[in-house]
Amino acid sequence: MMKVLMTALLLAMAMAAVQASSIETYRFDTPEQEELYKKMIAELRCLVCQNQNLADSNAELAVDLRRKTYEMVSAGKSEQEIMTYMVARYGDFVLYRPPMKSITFLLWTGPFIILGVGVFILFRVIKKKSSKTTEETLSEEERAKAQDLLKGDNE
User: Which residues touch 70 (CB under 8 Å, ≥6 apart)?
Assistant: 26, 37
Q: Cα separation of 98 and 107, whole Å?
A: 9
User: Which residues touch 57 (CB under 8 Å, ≥6 apart)?
Assistant: 46, 48, 49
Query: What confidence tens digit (pLDDT) does each residue in 16-56 have?
Result: 554 444 467 888 888 999 999 999 999 998 888 878 888 88
The answer to whether the CB of 70 falls within 8 A of the CB of 27 is: no
pTM of the model: 0.56
More confident residue, 82 or 154: 82
- pLDDT at residue 149 is higher than 90: no
Q: What is the CA radius of gyration of the chain?
A: 33
Query: What confidence tens digit (pLDDT) does each residue in 96-129 have?
Result: 777 788 877 887 888 999 999 999 999 999 888 8
28: left (phi over 0), alpha (psi -120 to 50) or beta: beta
